[in-house]
Structure 1
Amino acid sequence: MVMDNMIVAPTEDTAQRAAARARLDRLWAAGTAFLGTEFAILAGAMSWVSERNLVSAISNAGGFGVLACGAMEPDRLAEEIAATQALTSRPFGVNLITMHPRLDDLVRVCIEAGVAHVVLAGGIPPGPAIRAIKDGGAKVMAFAPALVLAKRLVRMGVDALVIEGAEAGGHVGPVSLTVLAQEVLPFIRTVPVFVAGGLGRGEAILSYLEQGAAGAQLGTRFAASEESIAHERFKAAFVRANARDAVTSVQLDERFPVIPVRGLSNAGGRRFLQHQADTIQRFLSGELTREEAQLDIEHFWAGSLRRAVVEGDVENGSVMAGQSVGMISAVQPVASIIAELVDQAVEALVRREAPAGES
């Protein structure tokens, strides 16, 4: 005998959630179509972190992983691409630094390996590199810190843009994502635009999709995932941190520029301030030339990211993190992070459609 309370029938809540999910899929359809993924959730390329294991896990969970080439030589990049392809049959991209002395060779490696998306970062991408990637059958993504550059990149043939706010971790610009989105999204409609910087919840992603974004890029949350190869002390620092702990490096003297890098405040950061002060004093006393002083300041952090990520020295290394670090309360599997982001966006849409007085 089948009891009434054992009969499972579709509920109004189920129908509402299905409708909300369909709405979300429509909002990021341009992003999923461009990436070839289930979700328009793009992973930021993080040196020492965005390697085969994390990238394949993100792609296998329906997102879009991106390998960080960084300072790799072509043979090493080819090896990492092949290793990632062995772990996932789904799309992923490769991030190349435009200042790399062997950029042309790295592009060739990507094309020969069948990489479908190449992300050019670290400066205005050279026209020949863009053409080589497109001629090889891949799509080109690039970063646009302002509307004028976004328009220029589109004219150069870039297939998609990422606008990254100052809330992000690592090397950042001076403008917040909330401002960049207002500056860029209403005026760039011919290519997909992905938003990045300080994103840690699905409701925030939804809000930018509704402004015209094609999808979102996240880095900090994935850096603290189970699949991330980052040292456990590195991940634990993320779990402990608050948003205000993720600060940008300070420049003491405009004669000696410091590229802003956002990371967790620690002893290394405090020593960097003292190092700048000492170096500037050595310059003023004539002990160092201006060029020597600049190099001395720039070399302070050499190897410090690896020290933090690989060796777990979170007090003296560079613990790059975005302000969304304050939303990390535990180390989670990548699939759980993505599912949580999607669920939060869907739930926000469900609440919006609920009759007045319901929540």
Structure 2
Amino acid sequence: MKNRITELLGVKYPIVQAPMGWIARSQLASAVSNAGGMGIIETSSGELDNVRDEIRKMRTLTDKPFGVNIAQAFVRDPDIVKFVVDQGVQFVTTSAGDPNKYCAELKAAGLTVFHVVPSLAAAMKAIEAGVDGLVVEGGEGGGFKNSREVALMVLLPLVCSKVKVPVIAAGGIVDGRTMAAAFCLGAEGVQMGTRMVSAAESPVHQNWKDAIVAARETDTVFLNRFGPGPALRALRTEKTGAYEKTAPENIMGEFRNVLDLYFGGDMEASIALSGQVAGRIDSVKPVAEILRETVAEFEAVMAEMAGRYAPQPA
């Protein structure tokens, strides 16, 4: 599969793994890169010493390309650009902040820069900042969100109609059929988050994976729409179900015990960030199998649509 995304990233498949805090580390990211996609190492945990170690581990686990995400709202190190450049990676995504903050410095160092955007206005601001591409993120995806969320079905074709840079679609992407839909709407790549959280190589506790597999399409909640702090989408639990109507005064304070959920399996200890697509995930699979099945189904769907609807010669 060849397009602008595979050429820019140097990958076999234009499938990117989302940079989820504490989760997007070498165990998962190397599996994605080795399977032909783009593994991403997170910085949103703020644990840059650990992140540095994870990048070292990546180089022992894969010889394929991988990237790093700079989650601007969560990284306080003023030398974060130097940190990323020093790791020798060629691809970086920036998110949760102003694309002007780091773009010029990163590009001056020779890195390819994509910025994550939740709206057309944010996309145009990123284009003006000089990014190489965009990750267009729909409100159905898990994690920290724009409080005025827009579904990918609306946002993706809107942004793609206004920009010329390559676009990676995020939010609701779980298989080849959703990948094909994203490509029909203008994307040249896709990003998977919740699907990767539930993957066999994901480091999270089995309880979280089981909760994703058991979830219905209605089993996520959109929290903290009116602030203060970020809005977010998470799995429905007793804790998050109560917060759906009345958010806590400090939503970020609910992440103080996040590791007890992520790795201890206590689903009420914190907030399990997950997208609506959890309702379509029915099993835990190895990353290589996920990517292989996704690409095969993508190709089959595109061929079927072309055969069914393309004009036939007279």
1:171 aligns with 2:144: yes
Bigger proportion of residues as helix: 1
SS at match of 1:243: coil
1:329 alignment partner in structure 2: 282
Preserved CA contact (<8 Å) 1:144 1:163:
yes
**Separation in 2 of the partners of 1:42 and 1:101?**
21
Among residues 229, 232, 236, which one is paired with 1:261 in the alignment?
A: 232
Distance 1:263 1:274, change over 3 A: closer
Preserved CA contact (<8 Å) 1:231 1:312:
yes
1:315-326 residue pairs with structure 2 within 5 A? 315-326=268-279
Distance 1:231 1:131, change over 3 A: same
SS at match of 1:244: coil
**Separation in 1 of the partners of 2:9 and 2:75?**
28
The size of the alignment, in residue pairs, is 307
**Separation in 2 of the partners of 1:99 and 1:208?**
28
Identical amino acids, percent of aligned pairs:
31
1:311 alignment partner in structure 2: 264
Preserved CA contact (<8 Å) 1:161 1:194:
yes
1:222-233 residue pairs with structure 2 within 5 A? 222-233=196-207
**Separation in 1 of the partners of 2:308 and 2:118?**
40
1:289 alignment partner in structure 2: none
Distance 1:32 1:323, change over 3 A: same
1:1-359 residue pairs with structure 2 within 5 A? 25-26=1-2, 29-100=3-74, 102-127=76-101, 129-173=102-146, 174-189=149-164, 191-250=165-224, 254=226, 257=228, 259-272=230-243, 276=247, 294=249, 297-354=250-307
**Separation in 2 of the partners of 1:264 and 1:71?**
20
Amino acid at match of 1:185: C
Distance 1:275 1:352, change over 3 A: closer
**Separation in 1 of the partners of 2:7 and 2:286?**
25
Amino acid at match of 1:342: V
Structure 2 unaligned spans of 5+: 310-314
Give deviations 1:33-67, integer Å, cap 9, x for gaps.
11110000011111121111100000000000111
Give deviations 1:77-110, integer Å, cap 9, x for gaps.
3222111121111111111121345444222122
**Separation in 1 of the partners of 2:282 and 2:50?**
35
**Separation in 2 of the partners of 1:100 and 1:211?**
31
**Separation in 2 of the partners of 1:355 and 1:163?**
29
SS at match of 2:218: helix
Q: Tell me whether 241-250 or 37-46 shows the greater mean CA deviation.
A: 241-250
Please report how far the alpha carbon of residue 227 of structure 1 lies from its aligned counterpart in structure 2 after TM superposition: 0.5
Structure 1 unaligned spans of 5+: 1-24, 280-293
Amino acid at match of 2:71: I
Please report how far the alpha carbon of residue 201 of structure 1 lies from its aligned counterpart in structure 2 after TM superposition: 2.1
SS at match of 1:143: strand
Distance 1:250 1:121, change over 3 A: closer
SS at match of 1:39: coil
Distance 1:163 1:273, change over 3 A: closer
**Separation in 2 of the partners of 1:215 and 1:274?**
35
Distance 1:138 1:104, change over 3 A: farther
Give deviations 1:19-46, integer Å, cap 9, x for gaps.
xxxxxx35xx111111110000011111
**Separation in 1 of the partners of 2:78 and 2:105?**
8
Q: Structure 1-normalised TM-score?
A: 0.80
